[in-house]
Structure 1
């Protein structure tokens, strides 16, 4: 049985690519036709690629590997958080902080700070600190949680990256490629598929 059906993809509008003037010619092999100035993605290929990506991710998880889900565009933020959490994986759905992968040790220091403030909040330290200091700590905690909350329990580099819109997440993609971390990506008609190891051709706004 398929992971997803053509009917489900059609209903979600996954087949609608970008306007023909905003395309990457390398995506030609995934395009079915053009209609009213918009490219229509070949959903038969999408279904096949979803199956391949699913098998890859299932195998990684079965071997105890971690997958980092990345999607910071507004349309993807909630879905990325939900699906990563459901799978027991990690996510970045706000701004990608440069060096999240390539400078992971520095990021871990920020995560330690986040956990330290959380502990202070839980163990009663906040109650004995001056009110002004507590306000500042709460603001810092909110900011750290916003950007690092989805990876605060990630102990090391992920085994793979799952990316929505590699064009928008180009820094994350570049970091993963530099470290030879496999990338699975939802790739629209305006993206370069050559940068992605496992391409899922789809409308990246139909999340």
Structure 2
């Protein structure tokens, strides 16, 4: 903190620049090693910038709401992502059109719910190696899960934040939209720079086959849920 004026704390920008340069290099090197960086920021000022930055560098993101257990209960999350893949496969094959109106409606509602929460991480096949977070106070559950699993955390640290919970803190404003956009943009650039340093083999993963039993299971689950908020019940926020 550089000083205080009218009860507003002023951050020392020289230190911000120094920490930023160091962290930029850390993130760039991580991307060069093929590591995955998960972007997290769910508050109104951050959710658009988080999504745009993550998409621009091909990384996963969470910008709607952090569901408790997204990291520590990742196997269950992967099952939910698998269900989303199954429903979309049923749509692609035209099988949903053969169902009753109620069955089709329940499946489409389930799909919308899954996309709402999991769209940003559906291609994340394993736990991330690093996490970039905007507002560690609001995203404390995400930060705690990352620390528990030994996942490195990069984050701008405002005057109300605890720097000790972050692996690579950057002193800075995490409330102003322009500041958030700048941090997100630079992290994405660091990742893209790192990717350019990495030799690409050009291989793509083959899509998993969907069995008839899996389709029937997802349909039965969607019907049994009805209007229930399945994700809300399965992943409650920890205090």
**TM-score per shorter chain, which class?**
0.7 to 0.9
**Structure 2 matches for 1:104-183, cutoff 5 A?**
104-183=74-153
CA RMSD, 1 decimal: 1.0
SS of structure 1 residue aligned to 2:2: strand
CA distance in 2, matches of 1:142, 1:48: 43
CA distance in 2, matches of 1:130, 1:49: 58
TM superposition shift of 1:195: 0.4
More displaced, 123-132 or 100-109? Answer: 123-132
Aligned match of 2:197: none
SS of structure 1 residue aligned to 2:35: coil
Runs of 4+ off more than 4 Å: none
2:86 maps to 1:86:
no
1:39 to 9, 14, 24: 9
**Structure 2 matches for 1:13-52, cutoff 5 A?**
31-52=1-22
CA deviations 1:154-202 (Å, max 9, x no partner) are 1111110100011111111111111111100121110101000111111
SS of structure 2 residue aligned to 1:190: coil
CA deviations 1:42-99 (Å, max 9, x no partner) are 1111112221121111111111110001101111000000001111100011111111
CA distance in 1, matches of 2:133, 2:32: 20
How many residues align? The count is: 177
Name stretches of at least 5 consecutive residues in structure 2 with no aligned partner: 181-239
SS of structure 2 residue aligned to 1:52: helix
Q: Please give the TM-score of this superposition, normalised by the length of structure 2.
A: 0.72
More displaced, 166-175 or 133-142? Answer: 133-142
2:72 maps to 1:97:
no
More displaced, 158-167 or 51-60? Answer: 51-60
TM superposition shift of 1:129: 1.4
* Structure with higher strand content: 1
**Structure 2 matches for 1:186-201, cutoff 5 A?**
186-201=156-171
Aligned match of 1:77: 47
CA distance in 2, matches of 1:84, 1:117: 25
TM superposition shift of 1:41: 1.0
SS of structure 2 residue aligned to 1:65: coil
CA distance in 2, matches of 1:35, 1:165: 23
Q: Please give the TM-score of this superposition, normalised by the length of structure 1.
A: 0.83
Name stretches of at least 5 consecutive residues in structure 1 with no aligned partner: 1-30
